[in-house]
A and B are shown apart, each in its own frame.
Chain A
Amino acid sequence: MTEPLLEVKGLQAWYGESHVLHGVDLTVHKGETVTLLGRNGAGKTTTLKSIIGVIRKRQGQISLKGTNILPLPLHHVAKRGLGYVPEERGIFASLDVHENLMLPPKVAEGGFSLDEIYTLFPNLAERRRSQGTKLSGGEQQMLAIARILRTGADVLLLDEPTEGLAPVIVQRIGDVIRALKEKGMTILLVEQNFRFARRVADRFYVMEDGHMIDSFRADELAGRMDSLHETLGL
């Protein structure tokens, strides 16, 4: 196996005085889609926020392409090639769709062109002059993903992309993630929707109470279903 693109070792994080991550380890290799599973409050979103650096009180090591990014200021992390799509989508009300799309600066060559983005997300092309927050939930999610694709980031951190969306939109988001995989994107996905996650993931990590309690490949899933039933309440 090649060197991981993203490697997290012994990651601990705090919300104020509250210790919420207790030594999380994970790796993501180039072209992989890795999913963090776990119940509400298990620490999945906190793990993503700690990796990107939105949560600043952290310890451990986060290596991106061999460089420890943990000490870097938040705005330097994106420039190293980490793209973040937050759970709440973060669409800006004061910007229209096109402005939202163009907001994140390019961090590397090789990102999606506007034509490619509008081909992948035709709804966004039709509504490019609409206020960002006037879009439907699904369209906002697509916009949140699309604007990171444009930047040329190597690794996409996707936090609960299907949350609160209708099944038909979830299907569409799944198609998009598969299309990104085919293009060789590396994705770290946080997802509570297990049915969705199993369609797109190559590997899984399972979290509980801020600890990583299990990890397995997609082809090992069948043998893990019992323990997943117990951990996730499937």
Chain B
Amino acid sequence: MTMIFGYPLPALLSQLLIGLINGSFYAMLSLGLAVIFGMLRVINFAHGAQYMLGAFFAWFLLRYFEVGYWPSLILAPLGVALISVVLEKVFLSRVYKLDHLYGLLLTFGLALIIEGMFRHWYGTSGQPYSIPSVFTGALNLGFMILPIYRGWVIVASLVICLATWLLIEKTQFGAYLRAATENPTLVQSFGVNVPRLLTLTYALGAGLAALAGVLAAPIYQVSPLMGQNIIIVVFAVVVIGGMGSILGAVVTGYMLGLVEGLTKVFYPEASSTVIFVIMVVVLLLRPAGLFGKE
């Protein structure tokens, strides 16, 4: 058997695969957070709850309306985006002119309320969501076994990140977003409805979280705590990548997923803390993050 640094290649590759899958979720979630922070200057602590809502939305659709996975990939993000439009209009829009701390506390409170409600209704044990039949089974790549659904998640996350990047960098909507991040008043004086742009941006970020939630549903169980478990890591990813940096969020998300996977091979005890160690080092050496502007 091929060995690398004393470890069997299949074991190493399977951990890398797990790292890449985790990294896919980190990238999608930190991307949404970065989009929201870049435009609204709100540290959206409700992002984990929106991820959970996406998964639950898909689960509801399947259980009560027999609507399957594929329509859910569109309907769940749309549903969560609509809920987020209401949240933005009713709550968030009131704190834009205040210190960032108010947005953080507000969204933290919203996350606690949303997660609390779902915990009350569904308990803490997860609800199963089956893998779509087209993605059942695994591929034997020769050097490792790749579950097809996990391969799909990696491909889907890459497509989602690329599409979001194209939306922001190559479209007129993206140009409005980038310009409004710099000088919203001037952009509004040109006739662009900036308050609506803020609402759409929040809905877009929340929709991305919900889409990640639908993709996660067949891998992890649909649980009220699923967002809470991942959101702290995702915040660390965003800090390491650079708050508000789209590229930073995506690259750092995948990179840290892989680092976490490799740590599980070489020093498993540190696998749950390695991201935070990296965050501390980055904050000390480059406080704006790896891709942030100093």
Q: Write the residues of chain A forming the contact surface with B, with a CB cutoff of 8 angstroms.
A: 52-54, 74-79, 84, 86, 90, 92-95, 99, 102-105, 107, 151
Residue B190 lies at the interface, judged by CB distance under 8 Å to chain A: yes
Q: Which residues of B contact A78 (CB under 8 A)?
A: 189-191
B178-A75 in contact (CB<8A) = no
Asked if A94 contacts B190 (CB within 8 A), the reply is no
Verify B187–A77 contact, CB threshold 8 A.
Answer: no
A79 to B188 alpha-carbon distance, docked (Å): 11
List residues of chain A with CB within 8 A of the CB of B193. Answer: 75
CB neighbours (8 Å) of B178 from chain A are 92, 94-95
Name B192's contact: one of A84, A92, A99, A105 (CB within 8 Å).
A105
Task: Give chain A residues whose Cβ lies under 8 Å from the Cβ of B190.
Answer: 75, 78, 84, 103-105, 151
Q: A53 — which chain B residues lie within 8 A by C-beta?
A: 189
In the assembly, what is the distance between CA of A157 and CA of B176, in Å?
22
Q: Which residues of the partner chain A approach B182 to less than 8 Å between Cβ atoms?
A: 92-94
Q: Is the interface of A mostly helix, strand, loop or mixed?
A: loop
Q: State the CA gap A36–B148 with chains docked (Å).
A: 70
Report A-chain residues with C-beta under 8 Å of the C-beta of B172. Answer: 102
B178 to chain A, nearest CB (A): 4
Q: Does B139 contact A (CB under 8 A)?
A: no
- The distance from the CB of B184 to the nearest CB of chain A, in whole angstroms, is 10
> Closest approach, in angstroms, between the C-beta of A117 and any C-beta of chain B?
16
Q: Is the CB of B189 within 8 A of A103?
A: no
In the bound complex, how far is the Cα of B194 from the Cα of A79, in angstroms? 14
**A103 partner residues in chain B, CB cutoff 8 A:** 175-176, 179, 187, 190
Interchain Cβ contacts under 8 Å between A and B, 17 examples? A53-B189, A75-B190, A75-B194, A77-B189, A84-B189, A86-B186, A90-B186, A92-B179, A94-B178, A94-B181, A99-B175, A102-B175, A103-B176, A103-B179, A103-B187, A103-B190, A151-B191
Within 8 A of A (CB), among B174-211: 175-176, 178-179, 181-183, 185-194
Alpha-carbon gap, A78 to B190, bound state (A): 6
Q: Contact at B179–A74, with CB atoms within 8 Å?
A: no
Q: For residues 33 through 52 of chain B, which have their beta carbon under 8 Å from a beta carbon of chain A?
A: none
- A54 and B185: CB pair below 8 A? yes
- Give the distance in Å from the alpha carbon of A156 to the alpha carbon of B275 in the complex: 53
Residue pair A79, B189 in contact (C-beta under 8 Å): no
Interface centre among A52, A77, A94, A95 (most CB of B within 10 A): A94
Q: With the chains together, A99 CA to B181 CA distance in Å?
A: 15
Given that A86-B186, A90-B186 are known contacts, is A75 also in contact with B179, CB under 8 Å in the complex? no
Given A90-B183, A105-B192, 11 extra CB contacts under 8 A: A75-B188, A75-B189, A75-B194, A79-B191, A94-B179, A94-B182, A99-B175, A103-B175, A103-B176, A103-B187, A105-B191
Instruction: Considering the complex, give the chain A residue whose CB is closest to the CB of B168.
Output: A94
In the assembled complex, which residues on chain B have CB atoms less than 8 Å from the CB atom of A107? 191
Chain A residues with Cβ below 8 Å from B175 are 95, 99, 102-103
Q: Known contacts A92-B178, A92-B182; decide if A54 and B189 are in contact (CB<8 Å).
A: yes
- In Å, the complex CA distance between A154 and B185 comes to 21
Most chain B beta-carbon contacts within 10 A, residue among A52, A53, A76, A99: A99
